[in-house]
Amino acid sequence: MNWFQELLANPALTEALPEALVETLVMVGIAGVFTLVIGLALGVILHVTAPGGLRPVSWLHVLLSAVINVTRSIPYAILMVALIPFTAWLVGTSIGPIAACVSLTIGTAPFFARLVETSLREVPSGTVDAARVMGSTRGQIVRKVLLPEAMPGLVASITTTLVMLVGYSAMAGLIGGGGLGRLAYNYGYQRFDTAVMIATIVIMVILVQLIQWVGDRIVRAVDHR
Amino acid sequence: MISIRDLRKVYRQGEREVVALDGIDLTVPTGAVHGIIGHSGAGKSTLVRCLTLLDRPTSGSVSIDGSDLSTAADRDLLQARRRIGMVFQHANLLDSRTVLGNVAYPLEVTGQDKAARTARARELLGLVGLEDYESSYPSQLSGGQRQRVGIARALASDPRVLLCDEPTSALDPATTDGILELIRDLSDRLGLTVVVITHEMHVVKKICTSVSLLDRGRIVEGGALTEVASDLGSRLSAALLPLPEAALDTAGSLVEVLGQGPAADVPVSAVIKDRFGHGVRVLAGSVEDLAGVRFAHHLLALPDGADDRTDGTEAVVAFLEQNGYRAAQRTRTQVETAQGTAQDLGGAQ
């Protein structure tokens, strides 16, 4: 049991690791909420304003689509560095988990918006026609038809987005976001502490598995197709 | 009453203009069950979309009980649409809602409170015989049951008109008859005006009181079912009263005869033999009841050389016409064309 006692004596694991885990969860949690709200709104607007949509507005659709594509084509590692001045202006600092949420949200919301758009597009046009014939307003069609009918796809998209956020949050750790990413870098890489490196990887794997498992359970519960 | 006046719909396809509806005129009296039949590409789907105002017609008007839907402003459009209940080919139910939730949907969008719409939805489910399925999801139902839910939902907003777009085209024959009987029964009980759009003559025969033939965006034939059936030589008549495939192995001339009502019960070949003394061969025949009237439709071959005699083909045709039959001499091509028409409109046997 020598190795186990050694692990327990390592302050990087007993003190820094729980702290880093909390920071990661804070980043994923806060950025997750913002991503879902902003991405959902953008995705709905994209779908509704598309040609042949409920309320076609071609300039808005083209503009939004272009902005989303530009954001998505910038690798997150570059985006988070490029956004440092904007982050400092917005939250007063560019260091720490809260600051990291700014670039995390901007990095993942457009991705999620595209997933939302794809899910909404899978609702059969006949179903939307039926709702229109029954005298539904556009708002009612979005709230009572499009979103509920697309729910299984939306939940699956949320799962994918959260998993991606876990990965991005580790990257954000490198430039001062904190969390498991920085822990692995500082201890595992710079101090050659293999135990911390392995522990971080194990926790990340468990976190992602947990998100995926919960997501799949919810999809099954809401899927009546 | 539905009244359609000079309805036109023109689509732009790049530089080209496609005329999907080319001046439709149609009046369907209250309580009637009217069939609109046509093969694919005739303009049926466009007509449905214009009647429900999913698409705005290019010109012309659609009015229900005297109020014009086609000129309604966007704000009134929602109200206008609620006056038409629509039944779709694939039911188009919301998969995320239970059967009860689906039927209650039209009431939800008009802002009725929950207790009222649940009570009304239950009542409608009773009407279509699905009271035990209210908490099932559409994916748990058979095609026929889904269509019944679709019909219940269409009736939720108390429409004056029920518009059925290929209501049974996705169903098997036994289920089809059940759904058609339900539509007919509801029309009788609730005094609904029903318009059924279909490519199958079976549907028209089963429930319609009148029918129109849609072809290339125009209504080319139409009227009460018995009236169009007795119009010998028309396309609707050929499709409503199709003859079995006949071997035209005769050198003599061909005569098509249609007997209606009492005339349908007398064997036409015996009538001819009594008068002219020469027999005729029956090449094909069918007897059918349409809207409560019996029709006997025959294709006869006169003896070879009958044309050259004074009691020849013309005399036989004239005699039959005088005695309450509809009769006409036919060429082989005409007989084959009629067969083709019957097949085209899903009426062939």
* Residue, of B311 and B287, whose pLDDT is higher: B287
| Whole-number pLDDT of residue B34 | 96
Distance CA A144, CA A138 (A): 10
Mean pLDDT on A78-101: 89
* Residue, of B252 and B346, whose pLDDT is higher: B252
Mean pLDDT on B308-322: 81
Mean pLDDT on B119-138: 95
pLDDT in tens, B188-208: 999 999 999 999 899 999 999
Per the CB < 8 A criterion, the answer to whether B106 and B157 are in contact is: yes
Find the length of chain B: 349
Report the gap between the CA of B318 and the closest CA in chain A (Å): 53
Q: Which residue of A has its CA nearest to B89?
A: A126
Distance CA A45, CA A138 (A): 12
B81/A135 Cβ within 8 A: yes
Q: Which residue of B has its CA nearest to A143?
A: B109
Per the CB < 8 A criterion, the answer to whether B214 and B43 are in contact is: yes
DSSP H/E element including B86: strand B84-87
Mean pLDDT on A9-32: 86
* Token pair belonging to A14: 């007993």
Band of the pLDDT at B233, cuts 50, 70, 90? confident
* Token pair belonging to A137: 């307003």
| Whole-number pLDDT of residue B78 | 80
Band of the pLDDT at B337, cuts 50, 70, 90? confident
Band of the pLDDT at A37, cuts 50, 70, 90? very high
Neighbours of B191 (CB within 10 A): 10
N-to-C CA span, chain A: 53
Preferred mutation among B77, B84, B92, B140 to probe A, highest tally of A CBs within 10 A:
B92
Provide, rounded to the nearest whole percent, the portion of chain B with pLDDT above 90. 51
Per the CB < 8 A criterion, the answer to whether B37 and B223 are in contact is: no
DSSP H/E element including A201: helix A194-222
| Whole-number pLDDT of residue B81 | 80
Q: In chain B, which residues have their Cβ closer than 8 Å to the Cβ of A221?
A: none
A133/B84 Cβ within 8 A: yes
How do B33-37 and B210-215 pair as beta strands? parallel
Per the CB < 8 A criterion, the answer to whether A149 and A72 are in contact is: no
Size of interface A-B (CB pairs under 8 A): 64
* Residue from the list B90, B109, B139 with its beta carbon closest to the beta carbon of A134: B109
CA angle B253, B256, B258 (to 5 degrees): 155
* Residue, of A41 and B12, whose pLDDT is higher: A41
B157/A133 Cβ within 8 A: no
Helices (H) and strands (E) counted in chain A, each on its own, are 13, 0
Report the gap between the CA of A130 and the closest CA in chain B (Å): 6
Q: Looking at this protein, which amino acid is placed at residue A143?
A: R
Q: Which of A99-103, A149-153, B77-81, B156-160 shows the lowest per-residue confidence on average (mean pLDDT)?
A: B77-81
| Whole-number pLDDT of residue B210 | 94
- The separation between CA B233 and the C-alpha centre of its own chain, rounded to angstroms, equals 19
A222/B94 Cβ within 8 A: no
| Whole-number pLDDT of residue B349 | 47
- Residue A4: burial class (beta carbons within 10 Å; 0-12, 13-18, 19+): exposed
B92/A129 Cβ within 8 A: yes
Mean pLDDT on B85-95: 94
Nearest-10 Cα torsion for B205, B228, B295, B335: -100
Report the gap between the CA of A21 and the closest CA in chain B (Å): 37
Helices (H) and strands (E) counted in chain B, each on its own, are 12, 14
- Look at residue B274 and tell me whether its pLDDT is greater than 90: no
Q: Which residue of A has its CA nearest to B51?
A: A133
| Whole-number pLDDT of residue B53 | 83
Give the mean pLDDT of chain B: 89
Give the DSSP letter string of B271-332.
Answer: HHHHHHS---EEEEEEEEEETTEEEEEEEEEPPTTGGGSTTSHHHHHHHHHHTT-EEEEE-H
Chain A residues bordering chain B (beta-carbon distance below 8 Å) = 124, 126-127, 129-137, 140, 144-145, 148-149, 151, 222, 224-225
Chain B residues bordering chain A (beta-carbon distance below 8 Å) = 52, 54, 78-79, 81-82, 84, 86, 88, 90, 92-97, 105-106, 108-110, 137-139, 153, 157
- Look at residue A148 and tell me whether its pLDDT is greater than 50: yes
| Whole-number pLDDT of residue B227 | 92
Neighbours of B104 (CB within 10 A): 26
- Look at residue A225 and tell me whether its pLDDT is greater than 50: yes
Residues contacting residue B171 through CB under 8 Å, at least 6 positions apart: B143, B144, B147, B179
Band of the pLDDT at B347, cuts 50, 70, 90? low
Report the gap between the CA of B78 and the closest CA in chain A (Å): 4
| Whole-number pLDDT of residue B310 | 66
* Residue from the list B54, B97, B108 with its beta carbon closest to the beta carbon of A133: B54
Per the CB < 8 A criterion, the answer to whether B122 and B131 are in contact is: yes
pLDDT in tens, A184-204: 888 777 888 888 888 889 999
Report the gap between the CA of B27 and the closest CA in chain A (Å): 22
- Look at residue A217 and tell me whether its pLDDT is greater than 90: yes
Band of the pLDDT at B275, cuts 50, 70, 90? confident
Per the CB < 8 A criterion, the answer to whether B75 and B20 are in contact is: no
Preferred mutation among B46, B109, B136, B155 to probe A, highest tally of A CBs within 10 A:
B109
Q: Which residue of A has its CA nearest to B76?
A: A135
B24: which strand partners?
B7
A135/B96 Cβ within 8 A: no
Q: In chain B, which residues have their Cβ closer than 8 Å to the Cβ of A151?
A: 96
B195: which strand partners?
B34, B163
